[in-house]
Amino acid sequence: MKTKRFLTVSMLILLVLSACKDEGPTKLLFQGHASFRITSKNGTVIYIDPAYGEGYDVPADIILVSHGHFDHYKIDLVTQKKDCTIITNEEAQKGNKYNTFKIKGVKIESVEAYNGSHHRSIGVGYIITVDGIKVYHTGDSSKTDQMETFPGENIDYALIYTAGVPERAAEWAQIIGAKNSIPMHTSSPGILFERSFAERFSVPGRLIMEPNEEIELTGTKK
């Protein structure tokens, strides 16, 4: 009996150690323009606004699209798992409200997104909570009323639309109050990244990512 119990306990320990070993870091890949890929510790893959750059060969569990413009909405680029869930602004705003989704342990909250050329009815931003880390993708958005509430959200990484006005975007980032603010959509569609604009995005916690750069995410709150 003692031998049997010992073997059972040993097998359980090995299973736990094996499961822990299989988990990697939570990662964020900047593909260019406004396109990103998030990979969770257990391998769940989330694409946001696929349109430009590389790295679409990793099969997607979730694809998020902020709005229907061509520089944010090229789902055909993405290799998809059979059970891949695609959420566009239409699903996100269904019922004339900003909807929340829970998929494979990932929480996805749609939020306001609008500016002078993007009406609030045709686009959203997303707050994605994965492995306890909050990532906010603004979509194509200037300052919104809802941003005033975001300091209470304890956002770890904010992916900020700059669109050639980095000084203004820095003001929005200050309001959001994320631990790290990453400039994206730094210039016109077709250009993956414009470093000169990114460097003018001056805000505490600024993190500049180049296309094809991947970083490990941490969830330490302020």
Residues 49-100: tens digit of each pLDDT: 999 999 999 999 999 999 988 888 999 999 999 999 999 999 999 999 999 9
* Residues forming beta bridges with residue 100, ordered by sequence position: 109
Contact 157, 150 (CB under 8 A): no
Contact 130, 142 (CB under 8 A): no
Question: Comparing C-alpha atoms, which of 93, 86, 108 is closest to residue 40?
Answer: 108
pLDDT above 90 covers a percentage of the chain that reads 77
Contact 129, 107 (CB under 8 A): yes
pTM given for the model: 0.88
Please tell me the predicted confidence (pLDDT) of residue 8.
53
